[in-house]
Amino acid sequence: MAELITHSPILIIAIPLLAAFLTPLIGMASQKARNAFVVGSLVFVTFLVFALARDISFNGIHVYTLGAASPDLSIPTGFMVPVRIILEVDGMSAFFGIIWAIVSLAAAIYSLSHIASETGQTRFYTLLLLMVTGGFGMMFTGDLFNLFVFLEIASISGAALIAYRTKFADTQEGGFKYIVVSAIASLMVLFAIGLLYAQYNSLNIAYLAQVIQYTTLDKIALAMFLIAFAMKTGMVPLHLWFPDAYSVAPASITGMLVITSHACMYAAFRICFTLYGGVINAPVVGWIIIIFGLLTMFVGVTMAVYQKDVMRFMSYHAVSQLGYMWIGVGVGLAVLGNAELIATYGRDAMSGGIFHILNHAMYKPLLFFTGGALFHYTGTRDLTKMGGLAHKMKWTTILYIIGTLSISGIPPLNGFSSKILIYESVYQFHPILTITGIIVSILTLASFTKAFHSAFMGAELPEYKGGKEVPRSMIIGMVILAAGIVFVTLFPSLVVDWAIHPAADALIDQGAYINAVTGAIP
């Protein structure tokens, strides 16, 4: 068991990868065995992630040096600079890892019947496992170039999965847009990595954080990193591709794409707080992030109000919700370096933003899954053509209500706990942020109520009379996420103490991250 924990950072990345390489071979033999294999490997990975997270909360940061004589030999004996690729898992990485494990498991189970009538299922599951690998790699790596490689794995497999339903033209267009945006973003990341390498001749985040000077080149590199990752998360001036890509993917994949955008957000936080944390001009960068976060929040929700396509409607809400997280963490960044302000409200604002990531990662995939269930049942994504579905789809209706209440921040659901945390702390920084947040929240509730009314309420439409509730595996996938929501709703303080605060502290405490690598000189 101790061995398993020691090796778990790489096992969490390598086991989905191994499973992805095996899936085509197993898929040739039997479909049932393949499905069981995919779900089984994801369950095992989820277990490993939880074990690793538990160990981190007791023993601190995990460092794993690939190919060295021992896992914690991060720097060769008698040498000063890390040479090999180092995986570094701290509270923040583990937090994102847990989210990713749960959502990908739910998505895989949901897919079992959601794509049951399509061809090419074996390749679908192969790509799904590769996407899981890419996500975990992005979250766990401590090396910039490795981050780029895993970013590419996640985005290429994501693009192929978005275009999965090849018989529709819009899926191809959405996939194409996604891959173009990803390619440009990742090449910008690579250029920025080159700029850093040109000066410091290293790729390790912890080592770079120690030696970084904040020269002009570093500023250009920081701008490139931030633009690239903001582009990948759909921050507002660069959000036009976002609903196009998200609305056409199979619903299970849309749920996972939400978390890949969170992974890009994680990378942006890692760059701002850990890599540049010691030298960054925090108020300026913080304010830039806050202003664009506000725009994102507001534009997303106003665009969502007009949408008729259920998946597009939810995608715009995803854009809008991402704004809350940018604001929460942006306020934390703006006061970084000022220990007093961090203690009064900075840490709370960051905790609120991070808590909102957790909640969003539960309710947004859930809502996308219910949208997929509606599509599965009616064969259309157009809300105006639906109606009276509550009569037949009892489970979906209940799960949709849970998701709606949660996203609009209705007490006592989990969306409320994180939003109130953001509102309270951000108010002390600048009141206008809180006011905008509340207005956006009200608009969100209004538009979701309207969508609920047009899809579920009213008389049963004649064309949907003969249908049945969606298959069981789709419901199980949704119930996993709903259970997450209920858990967070019931025990908010437990979650905050064990997951949110360690994650926020991991971002603030840059020294611990550096020491875990460079302090291990024997």
Partner 1 sequence: MRRVTGWIVLIVLVAFLVWGVTLVHPFGDPDASAMDDYIIENSQEETGSNNVVAAVLFDYRGLDTLGEATILFTAVTGVLLLLRASKRKKETS
Partner 2 sequence: MLTKIVRTVANQLILFIVIFGLYVIVHGHITPGGGFQGGAVIVSGVVMLLAAFSSQELKKSLRERVLTIVESSGALIFIILAFIGIGTVFFYNILVGTPIFGRIPAIGPGPGDIWTGGVIPLMNFAVGLKVIAGLSAVVLALALFSGGEEVEE
Partner 3 sequence: MMEHIPLDFPFLAAALLVGISFYIIIFKKNLIKLIMGIAMLASGVNLFLVSLGYRAGGTAPIYTDVPEGTMVMSVPQALTLTSIVINVAVLALMLTMAIRIYRHTGSLDSEKSRKLKG
Which one of partner 2, partner 3, partner 1, none interacts with residue 70, CB within 5 to 8 A by kind?
A: partner 2
Separation of alpha carbons 241 and 177, rounded Å = 6
Task: Collapse the DSSP code of 510 into the 3-class scheme (helix H, G, I; strand E, B; otherwise coil) and give the result.
Answer: helix
CB 320 within 8 A of CB 297: yes
Member of 4, 21, 240, 521 binding partner 1 (CB under 8 A): 21
- Residue with smaller CB distance to partner 2, 68 or 99: 68
CB 482 within 8 A of CB 402: yes
Residue 24 contacts partner 1 per CB under 8 A: yes
Separation of alpha carbons 141 and 145, rounded Å = 9
- Residue with smaller CB distance to partner 2, 112 or 231: 112
Least separation in angstroms between residue 24's CB and partner 2 is: 5
C-alpha neighbours within 13 Å on the C-beta side of residue 358: 32
Least separation in angstroms between residue 404's CB and partner 1 is: 34
Separation of alpha carbons 394 and 57, rounded Å = 40
- Spatial CA neighbour of 301 closest among 174, 437, 169: 437
| Alpha-helical regions (H) of 270-390 | 282-305, 310-334, 339-341, 347-378
Which one of partner 1, partner 2, partner 3, none interacts with residue 319, CB within 5 to 8 A by kind?
A: none
CB 174 within 8 A of CB 162: yes
Which one of partner 2, partner 3, partner 1, none interacts with residue 137, CB within 5 to 8 A by kind?
A: partner 1
Least separation in angstroms between residue 179's CB and partner 3 is: 6
CB 464 within 8 A of CB 390: no
- Residue with smaller CB distance to partner 1, 196 or 402: 196
- Spatial CA neighbour of 28 closest among 119, 101, 102, 122: 122
C-alpha neighbours within 13 Å on the C-beta side of residue 514: 17
* Sign of the dihedral defined by the CA atoms of residues 389, 395, 399, 402, in that order: positive
Which of these segments, 16-24, 367-375, 431-439, 449-457, binds partner 1 (CB under 8 A)?
16-24
- Residue with smaller CB distance to partner 2, 26 or 451: 26
Which one of partner 3, partner 1, partner 2, none interacts with residue 64, CB within 5 to 8 A by kind?
A: partner 2
Residue 202 contacts partner 1 per CB under 8 A: yes
Which residues have CB under 8 Å from 388's CB, separation 6+? 456, 457, 458, 459, 460, 461, 464
- Residue with smaller CB distance to partner 2, 30 or 119: 119
Q: What are phi and psi of 287, to 5 degrees?
A: -65, -40
Least separation in angstroms between residue 412's CB and partner 1 is: 42
Element at 459 (helix H, strand E): none
- Spatial CA neighbour of 377 closest among 401, 349, 400: 400
Which one of partner 1, partner 2, partner 3, none interacts with residue 164, CB within 5 to 8 A by kind?
A: partner 1
> Within 56-115, which residues bind partner 1 (CB under 8 A)?
66-67, 76, 79-85
Task: Collapse the DSSP code of 213 into the 3-class scheme (helix H, G, I; strand E, B; otherwise coil) and give the result.
Answer: coil
Separation of alpha carbons 490 and 225, rounded Å = 38
CA angle, corner 354, sides to 519 and 430, nearest 5? Answer: 110
Which one of partner 1, partner 3, partner 2, none interacts with residue 303, CB within 5 to 8 A by kind?
A: partner 3
Which residues of this protein are in contact with partner 3, per CB under 8 A?
A: 145, 149, 152, 156, 159-160, 163, 166, 169-170, 172-176, 179-180, 183-184, 187, 190-191, 194, 197-198, 201, 203, 243-244, 247-248, 303
Which residues of this protein are in contact with partner 2, per CB under 8 A?
A: 7, 10, 14, 17-18, 21-22, 24-25, 28, 64-71, 119-120, 122
Which one of partner 3, partner 2, partner 1, none interacts with residue 57, CB within 5 to 8 A by kind?
A: none
- Residue with smaller CB distance to partner 2, 68 or 402: 68
> Within 130-169, which residues bind partner 1 (CB under 8 A)?
130, 133, 137, 145-146, 149-150, 152-153, 156-157, 159-160, 163-167
Task: Name the amino acid, one letter, at 441.
Answer: S
Q: Which residues bind partner 1 (CB under 8 A)?
A: 17, 20-21, 24, 31, 66-67, 76, 79-85, 118-120, 123-124, 126-127, 130, 133, 137, 145-146, 149-150, 152-153, 156-157, 159-160, 163-167, 172, 175, 195, 198-199, 201-202, 215-217, 220
